[in-house]
Amino acid sequence: MRIAVTGSDSAELARRLEALGHDVEICPLVEIEPVGPDEIDVSRYDWVVVTSRNGARELVRRMRGAPGRIAAIGPGTAEDLPRVDLVPQVSTQEGLLAELPHPAGRVLFAGAEGARRLLRDELGADFVPLYRTKELRPDAFPDVDLVVLASASAARAYAALEAAAPAVSIGPQTTAAATGVEIVAEAESHDLDGLVEAVRRIVPAS
């Protein structure tokens, strides 16, 4: 099957889908632009909460000091952090909120510009934007049988193209953003493993 992957960092996903026997095209529909301060002092915080791999990478690059604890939204995000004290069973902001202690003390939420406010509002967290996601509009999109959408931004960008191919979504926020797109599967775990398994469920390996 011909599959298009659309994230800004899709090499590993493409490799794993190719290992299943699929023909994979990388066509990024988003790009990441760093924003925010050059240095982030985390030593004052009881928890630092990170909700994406891009956020993890930017935090590690700029972090000064050590927080009390670090929470990552999922195992993929955790891989890019020096240490992690909490990875929730459900890889969403709701999942993190359910497993963080209440009260959590002083919390820093490090994430994307324009990120959902749930954690900030419920935990009274300070927020530092580390990157913004820019949606891209390629002149041509590959002729494929299936598209993999790994973020709400990619879903919005793909929907704007009004292409015909159905899609696999990484989770409910991404599915909701894919207006007009036929979503044929949604990842049960909202990470790389979940995306690969979702493709495997609907498409037999070649």
At residue 44, the pLDDT reads 96
Domain count, the chain: 2
- Confidence class of residue 197 from pLDDT cuts 50, 70 and 90? very high
Q: Is the pLDDT of residue 204 over 90?
A: no
Do 65 and 123 fall within a single domain? yes
List, for residues 180-196, the tens digit of each pLDDT value: 999 999 998 888 888 99
User: Which residue shows structure tokens 């509002």?
Assistant: 121
Whole-number Å distance between alpha carbons of 192 and 175: 16
Q: Residue 151's domain is classified under what CATH number?
A: 3.40.50.10090
Domain co-membership, 16 together with 101: no
SS3 readout for 79-124: HCCCCCCECCCCCCHHHHHHHCCCCCCCEEEEEECCCCCHHHHHHC
Mean pLDDT confidence for 88-98: 92
**98 C-beta neighbours (distance < 10 Å), count:** 12
Q: Which domain holds residue 21?
A: 2-29+136-202
The pTM assigned to this predicted structure is 0.80
Residue 70 has a CB neighbour count (10 Å cut-off) of: 25
Closest to 56 in 3D by CA, of 84, 33, 31, 28: 84
- Say yes or no to pLDDT of 17 above 70: yes
H-run or E-run covering 5: strand 2-5
Average per-residue pLDDT in the chain?
A: 93
Regarding whether 80 and 156 lie in a shared domain, the answer is no
Show which of 116, 133, 150 is a domain's final residue: 133
* pLDDT score, position 192: 87
Identify whether residues 87 and 177 lie together within a single domain.
no
Domain boundary at 133, 163, 187, which? 133
Q: Residues 41, 128: one domain?
A: yes
Question: What pLDDT score was predicted for residue 206?
Answer: 53
Average pLDDT estimate for 47-52: 96
Q: Are 157 and 179 within one domain?
A: yes
Say whether both 18 and 56 belong to one domain: no
